[in-house]
Structure 1
Amino acid sequence: MRITRVLAATALAVLGMAVIATAQTTTYDVGGTVSVHGGSKKKPKPGGLTFSFTVSDPSGNQTPPVQTYSIMYEGGRLNTDLIPGCSAAKINALATPDTDVCPAGSKIGSGSLTALIGSAGQPVSTASSCKGSLALFNGGKGHATLFVSSELATCPVALRQAIDMKYVTKGDFAGLEFTVPEMLRHQVMLDITVTHADARLSTIVKKNKKGEKVGYIESTGCKDANRDMTVTFTDEQGASFPATKTLGKC
């Protein structure tokens, strides 16, 4: 992440506060859709998906940053060797990280986020709002890449950072797990808390080496009639908070 400006007034205000530790209850709401139904492991169906979450504290305080996310969908899989890859390391190696280095055909989706920059546990009214953009790329075998960016017109800081996402499977669930870098969670003694994010992964169909049509995202069916999604939010102390949502017919 490259930071060009931070609101000095916000930093000074936070530094001048007597921070009191208070009990905090965080609410995690998740949602999503899958554009295709049915399919099996032998005859999968290609499709796309959406994902969203909202994190809040009913008492009106800023919540602590989330360190690790695990986003898992039932009855699906990713074929990460189907299209060109663009690793997070390749993007971040530039003096100013930019997805222009990614090969054609490697982008898989896009989205947006809203964050607070302030002090966790303090009233939301004392924090600054930040709006940013998300771009997702295939990261190569077993990986995807999340690129986070923001502009000074809509955020106190200018962000440009790629995050490596690992493709994982757990029983009937498959999805992506990633850890947010320290520099995207804290700056100049301020906390960066993502309060809402949404993303859409496109339907991508290509021919494999055998000439068969294969989807980057595929539905392989579910044991029951419904498809579930589980998102696990893990904080900086290692405490995990799973949130489950039934997305409807599988």
Structure 2
Amino acid sequence: MRITRVVAAAATIAVAASAVAVAQTTTTEFKVGGSVTVTGGTKAKPKPGGLSFRFDVSDPSGNQTPPVQTYAIMYEGGRLNTGLLPACKADKLNAMTTPNPSACPSGSKIGAGKLTALIGSAGQPTSTASPCQASLALYASGKGHAMLFVSSKLGECPVALSQAIDMQYVTKGEYAGLKFTVPELLRHQVGLDITVTHAEVSLSKIVKTVKGKKVGYIESTGCKDGQRDMTVTFTDETGAAFPAQANLGKC
């Protein structure tokens, strides 16, 4: 049995501090934060680094929140060189009887993390839901893509989870990041809702030499105002979007 969803990437400056932003609907509160391990750089002379990202989703009244359908994690003043590493495709893993990232090419892994979810009924007290802990792994997936792999074990979750999700690399103005939509079967199983309440991911600093030049998978290109911002947009199953933005300090 497979199920999942989560996030992946974006940031602030680890050398300095960690930022948190909050967005809130009438029933759901979204908190986001993260860090970036590098400052400075320009588009002509970028600087490689790593980044981390986290979020929390909750209902202040103590009820289980509705599933999020689409996540878009965007950060200012940086870029991903998605074609730099060997690719591991989500559809290739999901075609396996039991998806296993050990089938991914050596050197394709870009990060790791974890998530906490509730399996129950949205709108009902969280005390009536079953908790689930899952591990996250991120892989390069070819130009314009990354891949998120979610897995859990019995004892940490009511079911053993194993699922790959394709993530699209997107840019908008000075922002760049990853966007992905969670399939229906990963938001609902056997009549129950799957709600991710916490996720955290770290993407490693990876540098390769291309034609005699050092190139980072993640690169800082600087910000016009010297400050790095991050925006995470959570879109629910009705199509309503809820952005949460954080200033991450010096860029």
TM-score (norm 1): 0.90
2:163 corresponds to which residue? 161
Does residue 1:71 correspond to 2:73, yes or no?
yes
2:224 corresponds to which residue? 223
Does residue 1:86 correspond to 2:88, yes or no?
yes
Does residue 1:2 correspond to 2:2, yes or no?
yes
Q: CA deviation at 1:75?
A: 0.3
- Report which of the two structures shows the higher radius of gyration computed on alpha carbons: 1
1:207 corresponds to which residue? 209
Q: Which runs of 5+ in 2 are unaligned?
A: 4-24
2:147 corresponds to which residue? 145
Q: Which amino acid aligns with 1:61?
A: N
Q: CA deviation at 1:226?
A: 1.0
2:13 corresponds to which residue? none
Structure 1 stretches of 4+ moved >3 Å: none
* Preserved CA contact (<8 Å) 1:38 1:45: yes
User: Partners in 2 of 1:224 and 1:141 — Cα distance?
Assistant: 29
Q: Which amino acid aligns with 1:65?
A: P
1:99-140, Cα deviation, whole Å (9 max, x unpaired): 011000000000000000000000001101000000000011
1:145-199, Cα deviation, whole Å (9 max, x unpaired): 0001111110011110000000000000000000011111100100000000000
2:10 corresponds to which residue? none
Root mean square deviation of aligned Cα: 1.1
2:6 corresponds to which residue? none
* Preserved CA contact (<8 Å) 2:113 2:137: yes
From 133, 140, 145, the equivalent of 2:135 is 133
Q: CA deviation at 1:90?
A: 1.2
* Preserved CA contact (<8 Å) 1:40 1:220: yes
1:249 corresponds to which residue? 250
From 95, 107, 120, the equivalent of 1:105 is 107
Q: Aligned residue pairs: how many?
A: 230
User: Partners in 1 of 2:150 and 2:209 — Cα distance?
Assistant: 30
User: Partners in 2 of 1:136 and 1:186 — Cα distance?
Assistant: 23
SS in 2 for 1:222: coil
User: Partners in 2 of 1:42 and 1:220 — Cα distance?
Assistant: 8
2:98 corresponds to which residue? 96
